[in-house]
């Protein structure tokens, strides 16, 4: 049986070669037929609102049964973490993979109350076998200081600090694919 992988994209346009589109295409090809990659278009990504993205996540989670892996790219990672720490989740989550996710409220330039996590969000997460954090050391969109905030709050997470300035990972993220494949049964 194929393992479900729910991919939540970044903010901004998701047209060809924009936003998370290239990363999503890379994952579809790299994961192949062994995985069921579910990649919903989130509402109004160029002007995202948490309440709308939350409603879409509710629909996605309600439609899936069994064990799953979750991938969040940029804002998608922040939204997944907020949703998981605030809502009841009945699904079994084997892994959460957060790619270049902003940490809202940690730095003065990144204050957006609708995305800010509660101080004790980590204790409110459902059981997740493993959490992975991926971030470029010199990310030009979301500075790597955001990763440090997540590392402090999620010390059990597997952290992958990548050389370079990549944020969109348009050429792919082999480390992510390798980590996902470790969940094969």
Whether the CA torsion 10, 16, 22, 24 is positive or negative: it is positive
pLDDT at 107 over 90: no
CB 99 within 8 A of CB 33: no
**Measured between alpha carbons, how far is 99 from 19 in angstroms, rounded to an integer?**
13
**Structure tokens belonging to residue 100:** 């270049």
- Mean pLDDT across the stretch 171-178? 96
What domains are there in the chain, each with its CATH number? 3-181 (3.40.50.1820)
Q: For 23-77, how does the pLDDT look when each residue is reduced to its tens digit (9 = 90+)? A: 999 999 999 999 999 999 999 999 999 999 999 999 999 998 888 999 999 999 9
- So what's the pLDDT on residue 14? 95
pLDDT at 93 > cutoff 90: yes
Percent of the chain with pLDDT over 90: 85
3-class DSSP assignment, residue 121? helix
User: What is the C-alpha to C-alpha distance for residues 136 and 146, in angstroms, rounded to an integer?
Assistant: 11
Q: How many CB atoms lie within 10 A of CB 80?
A: 24
């Amino acid at each position: 049986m194929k393992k479900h992988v729910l991919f939540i994209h970044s903010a901004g346009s998701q047209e060809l070669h924009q936003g998370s589109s290239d990363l999503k295409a890379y994952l579809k090809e790299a994961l192949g037929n062994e995985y069921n990659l579910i990649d919903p278009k989130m509402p109004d990504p160029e002007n995202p609102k948490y309440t709308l993205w939350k409603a879409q996540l509710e629909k996605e989670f309600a439609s899936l049964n069994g064990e799953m892996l979750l991938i969040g790219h940029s804002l998608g990672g922040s939204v997944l973490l907020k949703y998981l720490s605030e809502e009841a989740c009945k699904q079994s989550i084997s892994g959460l993979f957060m790619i270049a996710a902003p940490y809202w409220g940690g730095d003065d330039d990144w204050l957006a109350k609708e995305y800010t996590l509660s101080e004790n969000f980590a204790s409110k997460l459902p059981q997740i076998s493993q959490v992975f954090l991926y971030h470029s050391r010199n990310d030009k969109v979301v500075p790597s200081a955001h990763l440090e905030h997540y590392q402090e709050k999620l010390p059990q997470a597997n952290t992958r600090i990548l050389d370079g300035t990549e944020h969109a990972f348009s050429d792919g993220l082999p480390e992510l694919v390798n980590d996902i494949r470790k969940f094969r049964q």
